[in-house]
Amino acid sequence: MPTIDVKDFGNTKVIKIRGEFFLQFVRTVEESWNKAVADGAEVVGIDCKDLKFLDSSAIGTLVKILNYANTHKITLVFFDLNDSITRIFNKAKLNKIFTILSREEFETQYLQ
């Protein structure tokens, strides 16, 4: 069963997704995103360290979130991708549309 945590760092929110992100988990991720945005997020980081797998509905949800972020001037950053998620992002060419950083880069740029 996937889990999600949202941490508040003022204008920066971090959404940590653990487990496998399938269709059944889309609503939970969208609700977490909506809460972060409603709480005034200017930057949202998606922590992918413990994310094991994404299906096509999950990818669609992440693209939908990116589109919302772009139209509302919210910076969306994916960080700390493990090898499995890196391969999925590269295969789906998501690495060309998403901002992807290491944990250190994200923390240095957005949490200090």
Cross-strand pairs, 9: 12
CA 65 to chain CA centroid, Å, is: 9
Distance CA(98)–CA(103), nearest Å, equals 15
Model confidence over 24-69: pLDDT tens digits?
999 999 999 999 999 999 999 999 999 999 999 999 999 999 999 9
Res 68: pLDDT: 97
Q: How many CB atoms lie within 10 A of CB 89?
A: 21
Res 2: pLDDT: 81
Residue 1: is its pLDDT beyond 70?
no
Res 69: pLDDT: 97
Phi/psi of residue 50, nearest 5 degrees? -100, 15
Confidence band of 10 (pLDDT split at 50, 70, 90): very high
Pairing of strands 3-9, 12-21: antiparallel
Res 35: pLDDT: 93
Residue 112: is its pLDDT beyond 90?
no
DSSP 111: -
**Domains recognised in the chain with CATH numbers:** 3-105 (3.30.750.24)
